[in-house]
Structure 1
């Protein structure tokens, strides 16, 4: 996961600039701006990398607001031991809250265009169909993992069973749209060469096609 890079130089500048406000029980504009800038280091994180700039701006504001409410004295917060871990936790918690609030936010982890390219979903689905798909997927994930939080942490740790996730996605696609993947196996065959005892082998191949019933 991306980490906040609070260098000693930055820390010294911020501390010097705001030492007179150390008793202040609320962050000021510059302090909030500094936190939003620091949160950009998370921009390439799974889920966040699919947000638009506007969506990421709202996400950053929510994280900064949570941190400000929990740690109203900014200078004490940035000097706190384990500040990076604290920000990590709040970022992940905010993502999990968004996933719990609206199952369609699963699209930021499994974007529709990627699922189409993988053959899991057909092209041309409308808003209501996609909403139904992501609701279905969220339900299956909830039934597979103890919580959305456990599921997302497994994604961050890269310990999710991708084949299992693909099965859940395919089940939803089949249940909702009668869309399934049909595998055609071509086994290796041996054909006698004309006028010779030698044989030639045709290599095995597997083809897959997506069919809507």
Structure 2
């Protein structure tokens, strides 16, 4: 799974939503996701309930060594991050802002590797809210999927506002290693929330 697939998923989501805050869940076509489908997921929450996996791609489940469908999204995060994750996901669902999480996963044998998650809100449905997400692996650890990830630890949270058009943030979620340097005119703003670094920016450019 290449990191530029995050950018492609964002472009697909952004194209579907058009001038709306977010696309509808029924508009998501699994066939359009292609090879990215095993790494994608849908979260759902009803009322004040906790967001849970409605659907979880096969590779995400394999990496975590268990079936994730119906489990709380917080269940794959370390205990001290769970309240932050809960607030972040609920805010994503209500504010309709795209979010990227950079995190470190720890395996059952205490091995570690890096992951990226992107959370893309979907239109609300009656008393339910949903979002579509994707998980990508940084590097190619040989042991992944044979030594299950038991918890993830947040490192950086990037909040991207698709409506912000005055500048493009230096948040190239999909930039390949040989990409040209970012324009000096781009702006990056960050702040601290508890133990997290939150980066606020503009549109993702592919």
Q: Which protein is bigger by CA-based radius of gyration? A: 1
Report the TM-score, using the length of structure 1 for normalisation.
0.25
Greater percentage in helix: 1
Greater relative contact order, per chain length (Cα 8 Å cut-off, separation 6+): 2
Report the TM-score, using the length of structure 2 for normalisation.
0.25
Greater percentage in strand: 2
